[in-house]
Amino acid sequence: MRHGKKFNHLGRKTAHRKSMLANMACSLIEHKRINTTVAKAKALKQFVEPIITKSKEDTTHNRRIAMARLRQKEAVVELFRDVAVKVADRPGGYTRIIKLGSRAGDAADMAMIELVDYNELYNAGKATKKKSTRRSRRGGGSKAAAPAKTTEAKKEEE
């Protein structure tokens, strides 16, 4: 029975798989997008997203965790210096997988995995959305009352 066995072994032994994912993650951080098979892209997404989340808080402990996983100092430096700044306000979902079709040689399903914040084509058409605040129950005002004035309306009155 295969209860609880969820991740793809990718046809490799543990050490080979971990090394391959570490190398692919370093390439992704360096080049911001890489082409690979769909199965490897999905495995890489699960591998790299927790590391990017750790990079948002720059502590010695988080740097050591990232270094243990990635094994390349240059990748860790770029992750904490450049990538973490770009993804600071994003609550997850740092990578995107785009399927490309099949490879000519062996008909393997290919995909491009990229860091979401570095793709200018997808982000160009979208205006930066103002972050909305969360509503709480203890806030005043009933539904029947007049709507609260926005900051723009307050500025116009002054």
Listing DSSP states for 26-63 in one string gives HHHHHHSEEEEEHHHHHHHHHHHHHHHHHHTS--HHHH
Per-residue model confidence (pLDDT) at position 119: 86
Mean pLDDT (whole number) for 54-83: 97
Per-residue model confidence (pLDDT) at position 76: 98
Count of C-beta atoms within a 10 Å radius of residue 87: 21
pLDDT digits (tens, 9 = 90+) for 24-57: 999 999 999 999 999 999 999 999 999 999 999 9
Q: CA–CA separation, 99 vs 64, rounded Å?
A: 33
Per-residue model confidence (pLDDT) at position 5: 87
Q: How confident is the model at residue 121 (pLDDT cuts 50, 70, 90)?
A: confident
| Cα-based torsion angle of the residue sequence 89, 114, 31, 51 in order, rounded to the nearest 10 degrees | 50
Lateral strand order in the sheet of 95-102: 33-37, 109-115, 95-102
Q: CA–CA separation, 101 vs 113, rounded Å?
A: 13
Q: CA–CA separation, 85 vs 56, rounded Å?
A: 7
Higher pLDDT, 61 or 125: 61
Q: How confident is the model at residue 150 (pLDDT cuts 50, 70, 90)?
A: low
Please check the confidence at residue 93 and state whether its pLDDT lies above 80.
yes
Per-residue model confidence (pLDDT) at position 120: 82
Domains of the chain: 14-118 (3.90.1030.10)
Q: CA–CA separation, 20 vs 69, rounded Å?
A: 11
Please check the confidence at residue 152 and state whether its pLDDT lies above 70.
no
